[in-house]
Amino acid sequence: MSYRNTPKHRYPGSSSKRRRRGVLAAAMYWLLIGIVGFVVGRFALAFGDNVLMLAREARKHRQEIAALRQETEWLREQNAALRQEAQRLNTRSGIILEARKQGYGFPGEKLLVIQQPPASSTTP
């Protein structure tokens, strides 16, 4: 069945159906794009929060590590100083000097102890 002045492959009214299908397909396409965008956005926000939290923790850990390294270096210096003091005190002269500081002396020696005068509030 063919109508006058129309090509054989087209029928009257078919272009409006195609147009409606095209509009419906475009609407479905944009709806799908919107849904995918929303889901990806939600995942990105959730993932972004986790990344920020991990970055804050990493910065805090780096600060703690720096503080611990500084404390370790200070303790090494203290340890070296104490080792030198121990080596000095393990000699005969070191032992005698430390004993005299604490008020000891050899038998027969008389020790002279000088005390500081008390600090007075009025000075002449």
Task: Return the pLDDT at 8.
Answer: 57
- SS3 (DSSP) at 9: coil
- SS3 (DSSP) at 102: coil
Kindly tell me if the per-residue pLDDT of 113 is higher than 90: no
- SS3 (DSSP) at 108: coil
- Each residue's pLDDT tens digit, 75-108: 999 999 999 999 999 999 999 888 888 888 888 8
**How far apart are the C-alpha atoms of 71 and 61, rounded to whole Å?**
15
Kindly tell me if the per-residue pLDDT of 114 is higher than 70: yes
Q: What share of residues in the chain are helix, strand, coil (percent, to 5)? A: 70, 0, 30
- Each residue's pLDDT tens digit, 21-60: 778 888 899 999 999 999 998 888 878 888 888 899 999 9
Stretch 49-76: mean pLDDT, rounded? 94
Q: Which residue has the tokens 């850990």?
A: 61
Task: Return the pLDDT at 84.
Answer: 95
pTM over cut 0.75: no
